[in-house]
Amino acid sequence: MLRAEIILDETARFHARPAALIAEAAQKFESMICIEGEGVFADCKKFLSVMKIRVPSTGILEIVTEGSDERDAMSEIEYIIKNMYWR
């Protein structure tokens, strides 16, 4: 199991485009991939689940991956989250 924290700008919001990109990328992997924000966990393979996530006032999101391709999954999801235009 891998865990990573990502710090986002406090104005960041999950909306349809980033949520869709995350879900599409996550579906390529066999590993379980979750994001946690403000105590809410999202299954990254499900678009509507990702849409539920709120970026905490601290801006810190946690990503958790577990499975045979967890390193690749973590890398790709981190890349998407860090490089999306969030406004």
> What is the set of active-site residues?
15
3-state secondary structure of 72: helix
The residues with which 11 forms a beta bridge, in sequence order, are none
Which residues fall within 8 angstroms of residue 24, CB to CB, at 6 or more apart? none
